[in-house]
A = this chain, B = another copy of it.
Amino acid sequence: MKTEILHAAAEGALREVGLRKTAQRLAVLNILNSADSPLTANDIFQRLGSPQKINRVTVYRILSSYTRKGMIREFESRRGLHYYERANAFSPSHPHFICRACGRMICMTSFVLSEPLQKMIDQQGISIEHISISGLCRLCRCNNP
Q: Which residues of A contact B (CB under 8 A)?
A: 75-81, 95, 97, 100, 106, 108-109, 111-114, 116-117, 120-121, 124-138, 141
Contact = CB atoms under 8 A, between A and B. Distances in A.
B126 A97 contact: yes
Contact of A134 (B112, B120, B129, B133): B129
A144 to B, nearest CB: 11
B141 A135 contact: no
Nearest to A99: B126
Given A124-B137, A127-B136, A111 B109 contact: no
Nearest to A80: B80
A141 B127 contact: yes
Contacts of A137: 124-126
